[in-house]
Structure 1
Amino acid sequence: MSEALLASEAGTGAAAPAPTSGARQFWRRLRAQRAALVAASVVALLVLVALGAPLLTAIEGQDPSTYHPDLIDSGRGGVPIGSFGGISAEHWLGVEPQTGRDLFARLVHGARVSLGVALAATLVQVLLGVGIGIAAGLGNRLVDQVLSRATDVIVAMPLMVLSLALMAIVPSGFPRPVLVALVIGLVAWGSTAKIVRAQTITLKELDYVAAARLSGWSTWRIARRELLPGLAAPVITYAALLVPMNITVEAALSFLGVGVKPPTASWGQMLTSADIWYQAAPQYLLLPAGALFVTVLALTVLGDGVRTALDPRAASRLRIGTGRKREGKA
């Protein structure tokens, strides 16, 4: 509640009960969803693997870029020597066809790139979307019309086509993971801006925002102190769903050859050349595809769980439904 509204009610002397911590309520609702907890555990494990990739590969004694030509059969076109793609005590998941690079090392280092790019792109989308959405919602009619039409143009543009065009004109010396994150974030902020604008228009009609205006607060102060707390729940919810979408986009760009370039490991880049090896070395295709599938699924389930935990109406509907079931059993 606004400080201005609290100040106007301070003279009444009525003691209000202390509200329950929002973080505690969120955690309690999230714990009630077993699927979300499992997804959160999977995501936490993936993040730990990505952060600890250098340590894990050091324990294995390999790195993602060293070639091992002695581990591939050149007479058969570069197929790994040994069972299950060359799995051994030195190479836990086997080696890459034609090059002999360690698959485990490339897989865990690819997690760093895929998750890092997705999180950075999501951050750019949220910052741009929140800023433009608040400006459109609080601005006058002209500002709202200009920003809303610009947002509509961004939303209408095909993401992959525009990303491919932007990636093609940037010099090759620019760090590719950074470029991919910037391109995805700069192209795909429109939906976030539309959500924030709609929520801002709703919030600015509430009493505590009106009290802040009557107190003489500036537009920037109202946005920072009154609107941003109210926007936190929908923005966090949508951001949680953006991360798996951005992982998929990064993988698609790398698969098309305009994303992360070799020798940098990326799940999408690994899939680029894996399609011709699905019979001779199926693990080369299945491992990055499986990692991508599990990551996207876990993040999607976690995002849906966060949405339910942050939405009190969802919890109310759940309690009402449970109550009806109990009455029916009685």
Structure 2
Amino acid sequence: MSEALAAVGTAGTDTTVPAVPGARQFWRRLRQRRAALVAAVVVALLVLVALAAPLLTALEGQDPTTYHPTLIDSARGGVPIGSFGGVSADHWLGVEPQTGRDMFARLVYGARVSLGVSLGATLVQVLVGVAMGVAAGLGNRWVDLVLSRITDIFLSLPLMIMALALLAVVPDGFPRPVLVALILALVAGWSTMAKMVRAQTLALKNLDYVSASRLSGWSTWRTAVRELLPGLAAPVITYAALLVPSNISAEAALSFLGVGVKPPTPSWGQMLTSADVWYQAAPQYLLLPALALFVTVFAMTVLGDGVRVALDPRAASRLRVGTGRKREARAGTPVAASAPQTVSKKEEGA
């Protein structure tokens, strides 16, 4: 019944809720966006490197925590011995200044921390945000009011102050990457997700097929699972894809300021913390983690934009520049001549 009512509702009314494409249509639209495909390959390689970090460091014969004092020049303040930061067959990207720890091992293990924290925080943000948003949208006026005010309170909390406060009361034995992921999820991200889901739920619950399911005696939980969640899939997946690079940047910022992941656990943001005093003597110590962060965030952002457009083809891509001119050039229509031709037709009709 709900499927028939959905077809009638979409045929006779105009709604602002985008239609959710099927899996085949989604992959077909995503494959048409070459930038998104390249970004997906880059993200897949980064995830593969993070998962295979123990194997890669075993192939190199190093680990991220072992000190190599013989590979640094103590007379010069701890600068690595050799060219390019001590690059050799045993140390593929050189060693860390002052400690001599292997840079390649710390980079690949840092990828595990950065990607693991960001993906874990995104998962918690989606779960909490969807639950709060759906509950506020389907609840009565008082439930909506209370949950909306709670969401507004968390939305206004400053991330850095809350991070410092939580780090002061949480025992040192608590795993720091898990703590950073929870701080990012519960303070910085789920409230925006909840407000977006609430707005979509309010739009969806007025459609005919959702109203029919509620009038037929379905419980609120069954209505949410069977009728609302499929309609929320597109905006939730889109926003989650854009949350991942934001969480990566936030984790790097917390580690850079000294309130994130602590040594000896490697992290890209933590590596940047002490790299500012070595950028002249050992520039690779600054450039390598900064480049890794840039590539990861840029690839995640491009992939998130491609997912957004593939799920909602009516939305124009924010990264599309000059596509209309390229399409007209391929069709053989001069761009400059198209506008006067349109004007002349209007003048003839007048």
How far did residue 172 of structure 1 move? Answer: 1.1
**Contact 1:119-1:243 within 8 A present in 2 as well:** yes
**Contact 1:5-1:212 within 8 A present in 2 as well:** no
**Which region of structure 1 is more displaced relative to structure 2, 23-32 or 162-171?**
162-171
Amino acid of the structure 2 residue aligned with 1:284: Y
CA distance in 2, matches of 1:75, 1:327: 68
CA RMSD of aligned residues (A): 2.4
Partner of 2:85: 85
Partner of 2:178: 178
The secondary structure found in structure 1 opposite 2:225 is helix
**Contact 1:167-1:183 within 8 A present in 2 as well:** no
Change (3 A) 1:137 1:328: farther
Provide, for residues 79-115 of structure 1, a one-character-per-residue CA deviation record: whole Å limited to 9, x for no partner.
Answer: 0000000000000000000110000000000000000
TM-score normalised to structure 2 length: 0.86
Change (3 A) 1:108 1:313: same
Amino acid of the structure 2 residue aligned with 1:251: A
Change (3 A) 1:149 1:35: same
**Contact 1:2-1:211 within 8 A present in 2 as well:** yes
CA distance in 1, matches of 2:208, 2:5: 8
Partner of 2:301: 300
The secondary structure found in structure 2 opposite 1:312 is coil
CA distance in 1, matches of 2:87, 2:333: 57
Partner of 2:314: 313
* Residue 208, structure 1, aligned to residue 209, structure 2: yes
How far did residue 328 of structure 1 move? Answer: 5.9
4+ residue runs over 6 A deviation: none
Partner of 2:45: 45
**Pairs within 5 Å for 1:37-76:** 37-76=37-76
**Contact 2:21-2:311 within 8 A present in 1 as well:** no
TM-score normalised to structure 1 length: 0.91
**Pairs within 5 Å for 1:102-181:** 102-181=102-181
CA distance in 1, matches of 2:309, 2:164: 35
Q: How many residues align?
A: 317
How far did residue 3 of structure 1 move? Answer: 6.2
How far did residue 215 of structure 1 move? Answer: 1.2
**Contact 1:309-1:315 within 8 A present in 2 as well:** no
Amino acid of the structure 2 residue aligned with 1:310: L
Provide, for residues 220-272 of structure 1, a one-character-per-residue CA deviation record: whole Å limited to 9, x for no partner.
Answer: 00001100010000000000000000011111111111111100011011111
Partner of 1:14: none
CA distance in 1, matches of 2:161, 2:249: 15
How far did residue 5 of structure 1 move? Answer: 5.0
* Residue 266, structure 1, aligned to residue 267, structure 2: yes
Long gaps (5+) in structure 2:
9-19, 339-350
Partner of 1:251: 252
CA distance in 1, matches of 2:305, 2:156: 25
Amino acid of the structure 2 residue aligned with 1:121: A
CA distance in 1, matches of 2:253, 2:261: 10
CA distance in 2, matches of 1:273, 1:172: 22
How far did residue 68 of structure 1 move? Answer: 0.5
**Contact 2:69-2:99 within 8 A present in 1 as well:** yes
Amino acid of the structure 1 residue aligned with 2:37: L
Partner of 1:223: 224
Partner of 1:278: 279
How far did residue 2 of structure 1 move? Answer: 2.7
**Which region of structure 1 is more displaced relative to structure 2, 160-169 or 141-150?**
160-169
Amino acid of the structure 2 residue aligned with 1:293: F
How far did residue 278 of structure 1 move? Answer: 0.3
Provide, for residues 3-39 of structure 1, a one-character-per-residue CA deviation record: whole Å limited to 9, x for no partner.
Answer: 6959x9xxxxxxxxxxx97111011111111111111
Partner of 1:26: 26
**Contact 1:4-1:211 within 8 A present in 2 as well:** no
CA distance in 2, matches of 1:297, 1:139: 39
CA distance in 2, matches of 1:142, 1:307: 33
Partner of 2:17: none
The secondary structure found in structure 2 opposite 1:100 is coil
The secondary structure found in structure 1 opposite 2:120 is helix
Give identity over the alignment, percent.
78
**Contact 2:136-2:143 within 8 A present in 1 as well:** yes
**Contact 1:118-1:250 within 8 A present in 2 as well:** yes
Provide, for residues 131-185 of structure 1, a one-character-per-residue CA deviation record: whole Å limited to 9, x for no partner.
Answer: 0000000000000011111111111222232223222321111100000001111
**Which region of structure 1 is more displaced relative to structure 2, 189-198 or 20-29?**
20-29
Change (3 A) 1:227 1:95: same
